Structure 1
Amino acid sequence: MFHTIQISQAAGAMKMEESQLWSLLGQCGIQPVEDSLTLEQVWQLAQALEDRKQESQRRSQEKLERLTEQYTLLIDTCSLLHPQFPLLIEHLEPLLRGKGKALIVPSGMVAELRNLLLKKPELAERIRALLPLMVQLRQQGLLRVFGGQNEDFGDQQMLTVVTRFMTAAPLLVITQDNDLSADLLRLNQLGSVRGQKVAVSRINRYGYLSRYLTPEQRGMSSSSVSGPGPFFPSAPLVEDREERLPACQFPQTGDLVRTNQGDIRLGPALAKGGEGTIYDLEDGTVAKIYREEKRTVLRRDKLALMTSQSVSIPGVCWPRELLWDGAGNFLGYRMERARGTELQKCAFTRQALERYFPEWKKLDMVHLAVTILEKISALHRCGVLLGDINPRNILVVSPEEVWLVDCDSYQVGGYPCPVGTVRFTAPEIQHCRFSGFLRTPGNEAFAVATLLFMLMLPGKSPYAQQGGEDLGEVIREMNFPYPCGENRSDHTPAGAWRFLWSHLPRYTKENFYGTFQRGGRYSTEQTRLTVEQWLTAFRYYGKLLEENKLQDPQSGELFPDRWKITDPDDLLVYQHAVCQECGKPFDITEGEHKFYRQHDLTLPRRCPSCRNLRKLERNGLSFSA
């Protein structure tokens, strides 16, 4: 009876390359031993794949629900004949019923089906199965046929219908036809057609909807922003214009400012910064009034675009409406009031964590990472890139409550994010003028990975290493100082950082190493892990911690005080001892006892911390937690 299976055999059975299976195992947190999987690990892999499948279905159903609520849905002939159309209806039917909506079929599509029944016998069986389903849906009010009975050209009628009704309601057309998709999206660019934007999706193999990608977008990286959103696709770059607006009288606490809904009175000032002053409006919102030199045409026009679309994401302080003075001069904008402490202040040092969140464990930090990733993912689905992922602009209340502020700097449409921080800037755009180009999802993916690394090793930049070289140059060189598998490094920062790194799951270390090391699997703009991929990895990490499936108990601590233990003997206590240097108690494990006995050495008389301190002092280094 076999108790293990070789990786090569498992890959063959799953019909994938070995490298693909290794990547999959890493994402699932499974660490093979000597290129083999145990039966328990095979079961763990199957369970992880099933969990990912269910999670993917959940997200797809939530996306379908959002689309059904946001759009009027139209469908063309080729999507009606798609093999997964009945499955789409199965997913869509309760949503249509709940929202009192129907799937719209232009009448020309019905005529086209009749013609295909005569001209293409190979489709006859599929059409005969489709027609009763359409009749049933129509009787239930879930499908409506629009247009005259004499319409023969389905695509042309679809364009006519969309052009006519896009002025009244947001439309989503479901089609598998590339040419029709391109024609529909071009309607968004026509100056003669004013109204809502048209979105285009297609039925995927799972019976859900995927956004149509142009050939240019299909050539982009896997990190591309997904899902129809009010700011996607991006418009051409809006050049940075420093043209200032006419001078005006700036309001103070107690003064009235104008909105589209009427006048509001400024409350007490809450904060002052380089861009302006934040005033409490005492209704759960605040006003940001810009300084004179920050009131530019570019800023006003960008905020006008942002406030033209309702982006409602819990914890994201999106601009709600513009603010003006009595003479119509632009002053700033209104947004939801945030709470919490800056991530930079409360979670990036041990002392800060012990002050603000003394009860936190590793699981809390992983949950915090998931919460932040979920908000970034929601913005990406709207076509928004954060651009400058700055820990000072992330406020933390708890692992499950986070606020993103200073959203006016985000990249929307053709308006770039004009600012950036060296440690969060991808190698390919180091030393660039941020206001002069539009960041790509691949650029953003580097910043996301950096933030996650600094959450797992609180406050430590991925490229902060011994030697003190210029950080921007180190990032461009992509010399990642942490070891992974067979890859070693002589530049790993000394002290507790090594312990923190060693306790991360193997797949998490591989993800970070693959991202930050030149030549790594995810190290280029086109191959970096997406926010959704990181979400899957960190949700699984959280599950491992919740179910206590990590081998070493210290892996659940925020700051473990030793290397990760993989030998079971090292988890058993051989002897309790007291450190002769600091006086603190420590344990000598069975594994240590065996090692010292095999090498005819005396058992240690100092605790691990004092031993490490002496070792560092001998090397001329200081120990820092």
Structure 2
Amino acid sequence: MEITDLIQNYIVFVDTSSWMYPEGTKFLQQEFPAALHSHQKKVRISGKVIEEVNKHIKGDDKKRAEEAKVAAKLLNQYHTHKILDIYQDPDDPFQDQAILAMFMKYRTKFHLAMITQDRNFARDIEDLNEQGSVKSSKIIKVFYLDREGRLQPWVKGVKQHELDRKKRETATNPASRPLKMQENIHRLPLGTKVETGLDTVIPVSYFPKEGESVRTQKYGELTLVKEIGSGGEGSVFLTSNGMICKIYTQITKARIEKLKLMLKIPFEKKGICWPKDFATNSKGEYIGYVMDKAEGKVMQTSMFHKKLLQKNFPHWTRSSLVELAINILDKVLYLHERNIIIGDINPFNIMIKDSNDVYLVDTDSYQIVNYPCPVGTINFTPPETQGMRYHEYLRTFKHEYFAVATLVFMILMPGKTPYAHQGGGTPGEDIKKMEFPYPFGDYRGNAPDGVWRYIWSHFTYALKKRFYQVFSENNRLTTAEWVSVLEEYRRKIKLGHTNDEIWPTSSKIADDDAAHVTCSKCNTPFIMHINKKRDLDADGKSYICNSCLMIMKVTKVAKNEAAAAKQTAPRQRPTMRPATQRPRAMSSTWTPSSTRTTSSTRPASSTRVTPPPRAQQRQKQNNQQSTGLFGIIKKFLGI
């Protein structure tokens, strides 16, 4: 679930185990508070969380004490920025009982969500959904933070990544599957030759249009509510039951036979918009098919440019790009397991709602047995088939693996194709020559200037090696092998062994060039290139870590959007009030207190309101923060 959907629709609780989970600190420092503040929401905690954190700070376990101090700083930050709501029940001596009681109290009124690292507690919360004695349309969801700091759902006390790993293992190693599982997977035979004589057009008396109806065997009669897209093959409509109907401009025998094969396959995979049923006109003539609706934005037009990526996915880091690639390849693996070759892998056929929520569309073009994929894209076509007519040959998995590697490269190098370089020829010519421009080992290459070289320099050695093997030596990895490479890359980012920035501003810093500095915003130590440190020192500027830069970036995006909305809103003549009655403007964005500025507008009246001195405001804020349970934490941390 996307974090914005969760915050907008659920009351979210976080227990002590999550606040003290080291790998979750980044999520709790960046993405979560930024989303809470931008939507003017609060996270809820039990007062027992404060007590438990305080107990660990004073405890003998040094490791737990350090984790508790980090949790205390996080909680204080949330408290300072008014995105934390604390409840306390003196009759509940333990945190778990207090939270369970709260969930029982509100489960019929609100959608509730819990973030916990405790497996048994997660199962207890999930079980509340199945209590037959309480009838409620409200949903309870339970999440945990995984080792990469991502929010993941618990499934009956089992972590989602444990389920995903098991599925990948069984998908890539048939011998390890239980017999029952092997029997349930319907594998199509691989094609041997292109079917011929199937381009005959089948006459159709009428193709329905927007506002009219189509008929399906599974879903009955459906109204074409709205046309949402059109192209050379046909038009796509939103239907009255929320599904999508594709209606062709003409029907051929090949299309009918291919769809029949696709509809026979037992197919259930979220995010792959597979045909669900034929659509016919009022005379029973085939005119198209219905499928599930895809959500999100088209990859090609939403993230393959720096400004587009920052606008559409402002919270993303490099880890998000890696997560996106893994989730796409998970769907490709599902298809490959059934001997289905996509053929036309390209970013126009992928829609993104979030890095964990992606959709593959135009599945009717996939290669099924002897029915080839009739379309393709030059940048995703391997050297050996460049110039060939796509509908005249059957693709192999080796062809597909070239396209998979290209897609991975373009996700990690947002929008840049593998062979694009200075002084190159056409894309097809560069691919045929296999002139991969990025340096590896003794090979220096001719990589594009600027950010592309910086990104490449920050890739791990293993990732560079894999790309070089594919694009320079023509030694292609399987989809499953790419998943393993990406999982290891994600782990290295999480451990801090390589940069998590999408757009680094310099090449990777060697040990001899590394300067250890402290962020002026959050006091977190980090590494900076010695030359950049010297430039900042010479200009009298402070050091800011990536986390704080992210918060500043999100703040700027939100302010720009608010300003744009204000400009487009119809103007109304304001009612003048005395200056003393004017409300103080409040920020609607997540901004560190040290970077906030207060702007005031001079009233039309000659009377001016003199704001209290900044020192007085700061003292008042400190007095407020030093009371109650947070005073305990501040006392022990000396903050």
Alignment TM-score > 0.5, same fold: yes
Counterparts of 1:435-450 in structure 2, within 5 Å, are: 435-450=391-406
Q: Which among 466, 486, 503 is matched to residue 559 of structure 1?
A: 503
Cα displacement string for residues 132-162 of structure 1 (whole angstroms, at most 9, x for unaligned residues): xxxxxxxxxxxxxxxxxxxxxxxxxxxxxxx
Q: Which among 284, 299, 324 is matched to residue 255 of structure 2?
A: 299
Shift of 1:471: 1.1
* Aligned mates of 1:430, 1:55 — CA distance in 2: 40
Counterparts of 1:291-370 in structure 2, within 5 Å, are: 291-292=249-250, 295-370=251-326
* Aligned mates of 1:337, 1:458 — CA distance in 2: 26
Q: What secondary structure is seen at the aligned counterpart in 2 of 1:337?
A: coil
Q: What secondary structure is seen at the aligned counterpart in 2 of 1:452?
A: helix
* Aligned mates of 1:259, 1:533 — CA distance in 2: 40
Residue 480 and residue 436 in structure 1: after superposition, are their counterparts in 2 closer, same or farther (change >3 A)?
same
Cα displacement string for residues 550-589 of structure 1 (whole angstroms, at most 9, x for unaligned residues): 3xxxx11010000001215423359x9xxxxxxxxx9871
Shift of 1:61: 5.3
Q: Look up the match of 2:208.
A: 251
Residue 465 and residue 604 in structure 1: after superposition, are their counterparts in 2 closer, same or farther (change >3 A)?
farther
* Aligned mates of 2:180, 2:160 — CA distance in 1: 16
* Aligned mates of 1:339, 1:321 — CA distance in 2: 20
Residue 493 and residue 315 in structure 1: after superposition, are their counterparts in 2 closer, same or farther (change >3 A)?
same
Structure 2 residues not aligned, in runs of 5+? 1-158, 521-526, 542-639
TM-score, with structure 2 as normaliser: 0.54
Residue 56 and residue 341 in structure 1: after superposition, are their counterparts in 2 closer, same or farther (change >3 A)?
closer
Cα displacement string for residues 473-532 of structure 1 (whole angstroms, at most 9, x for unaligned residues): 11011010000122211x211111100111111110110011001xx2xx14xxx10110
Q: Which among 580, 585, 589 is matched to residue 530 of structure 2?
A: 589
Q: Look up the match of 2:189.
A: 232
TM-score, with structure 1 as normaliser: 0.55
Report sequence identity in percent. 35
* Aligned mates of 1:64, 1:559 — CA distance in 2: 33
Q: Look up the match of 2:496.
A: 548
The worse-fitting range, judged by mean Cα deviation, of 324-333 and 458-467 is: 324-333
Q: Which among 517, 527, 531 is matched to residue 479 of structure 2?
A: 531
**2:530 alignment partner AA:** T
Cα displacement string for residues 176-210 of structure 1 (whole angstroms, at most 9, x for unaligned residues): xxxxxxxxxxxxxxxxxxxxxxxxx9857xx9679
Instruction: Output the aligned Cα RMSD.
Output: 3.6
Q: Look up the match of 1:404.
A: 360
Checking the alignment, whether the CA contact within 8 Å between 2:424 and 2:430 is kept in structure 1 is no
* Aligned mates of 1:336, 1:259 — CA distance in 2: 14
Structure 1 residues not aligned, in runs of 5+? 1-53, 68-200, 213-226, 577-585, 597-602, 608-625
Checking the alignment, whether the CA contact within 8 Å between 2:204 and 2:287 is kept in structure 1 is no
Checking the alignment, whether the CA contact within 8 Å between 1:570 and 1:591 is kept in structure 2 is no
Checking the alignment, whether the CA contact within 8 Å between 1:426 and 1:443 is kept in structure 2 is yes
* Aligned mates of 1:459, 1:355 — CA distance in 2: 15
* Aligned mates of 1:454, 1:300 — CA distance in 2: 34
Residue 606 and residue 438 in structure 1: after superposition, are their counterparts in 2 closer, same or farther (change >3 A)?
farther
Checking the alignment, whether the CA contact within 8 Å between 2:194 and 2:372 is kept in structure 1 is yes
* Aligned mates of 2:316, 2:230 — CA distance in 1: 31
Q: Look up the match of 1:39.
A: none
Q: Look up the match of 2:380.
A: 424
Checking the alignment, whether the CA contact within 8 Å between 1:317 and 1:337 is kept in structure 2 is yes
**1:560 alignment partner AA:** P
Cα displacement string for residues 222-263 of structure 1 (whole angstroms, at most 9, x for unaligned residues): xxxxx9533233354223632111132111223222222333
Checking the alignment, whether the CA contact within 8 Å between 1:424 and 1:447 is kept in structure 2 is yes
Checking the alignment, whether the CA contact within 8 Å between 2:329 and 2:483 is kept in structure 1 is yes
**2:290 alignment partner AA:** R
Counterparts of 1:170-185 in structure 2, within 5 Å, are: none
Shift of 1:323: 1.1
1:277 aligns with 2:277: no
* Aligned mates of 1:506, 1:486 — CA distance in 2: 13
Q: Look up the match of 1:497.
A: 452
* Aligned mates of 2:441, 2:160 — CA distance in 1: 29
Counterparts of 1:478-497 in structure 2, within 5 Å, are: 478-489=434-445, 491-497=446-452
Residue 278 and residue 350 in structure 1: after superposition, are their counterparts in 2 closer, same or farther (change >3 A)?
same
Q: Look up the match of 2:426.
A: 470
Q: Look up the match of 2:58.
A: none
Residue 455 and residue 211 in structure 1: after superposition, are their counterparts in 2 closer, same or farther (change >3 A)?
same
Checking the alignment, whether the CA contact within 8 Å between 1:202 and 1:209 is kept in structure 2 is no
**1:324 alignment partner AA:** T
* Aligned mates of 1:500, 1:240 — CA distance in 2: 49
Shift of 1:382: 1.4
Residue 570 and residue 432 in structure 1: after superposition, are their counterparts in 2 closer, same or farther (change >3 A)?
same
* Aligned mates of 2:249, 2:209 — CA distance in 1: 12
* Aligned mates of 2:355, 2:271 — CA distance in 1: 13
Residue 278 and residue 592 in structure 1: after superposition, are their counterparts in 2 closer, same or farther (change >3 A)?
closer
* Aligned mates of 1:535, 1:444 — CA distance in 2: 15
Q: What secondary structure is seen at the aligned counterpart in 2 of 1:572?
A: strand
Checking the alignment, whether the CA contact within 8 Å between 1:61 and 1:208 is kept in structure 2 is no
Cα displacement string for residues 270-322 of structure 1 (whole angstroms, at most 9, x for unaligned residues): 22222111111132311101113xx2111121111111223111110000111
* Aligned mates of 1:254, 1:354 — CA distance in 2: 38
The worse-fitting range, judged by mean Cα deviation, of 425-434 and 538-547 is: 538-547
Shift of 1:63: 7.5
Shift of 1:539: 1.2
Q: Which among 400, 408, 411 is matched to residue 452 of structure 1?
A: 408
Checking the alignment, whether the CA contact within 8 Å between 1:267 and 1:282 is kept in structure 2 is yes
Checking the alignment, whether the CA contact within 8 Å between 2:514 and 2:528 is kept in structure 1 is no
Q: What secondary structure is seen at the aligned counterpart in 1 of 2:222?
A: strand
* Aligned mates of 2:191, 2:180 — CA distance in 1: 19
Residue 425 and residue 243 in structure 1: after superposition, are their counterparts in 2 closer, same or farther (change >3 A)?
same
Counterparts of 1:126-275 in structure 2, within 5 Å, are: 229-234=186-191, 236-239=193-196, 241-261=198-218, 262-275=220-233
Checking the alignment, whether the CA contact within 8 Å between 1:289 and 1:333 is kept in structure 2 is yes
Residue 336 and residue 572 in structure 1: after superposition, are their counterparts in 2 closer, same or farther (change >3 A)?
same
Q: What secondary structure is seen at the aligned counterpart in 1 of 2:408?
A: helix
Checking the alignment, whether the CA contact within 8 Å between 1:316 and 1:404 is kept in structure 2 is yes
Residue 57 and residue 441 in structure 1: after superposition, are their counterparts in 2 closer, same or farther (change >3 A)?
farther
Residue 398 and residue 430 in structure 1: after superposition, are their counterparts in 2 closer, same or farther (change >3 A)?
same
**1:498 alignment partner AA:** R
Checking the alignment, whether the CA contact within 8 Å between 1:257 and 1:266 is kept in structure 2 is yes
* Aligned mates of 2:165, 2:516 — CA distance in 1: 46
Q: What secondary structure is seen at the aligned counterpart in 2 of 1:267?
A: strand
* Aligned mates of 1:318, 1:241 — CA distance in 2: 22
Residue 66 and residue 430 in structure 1: after superposition, are their counterparts in 2 closer, same or farther (change >3 A)?
closer
* Aligned mates of 2:236, 2:160 — CA distance in 1: 40
* Aligned mates of 1:504, 1:210 — CA distance in 2: 41
Checking the alignment, whether the CA contact within 8 Å between 2:344 and 2:375 is kept in structure 1 is yes
* Aligned mates of 2:259, 2:175 — CA distance in 1: 35
* Aligned mates of 2:169, 2:359 — CA distance in 1: 26
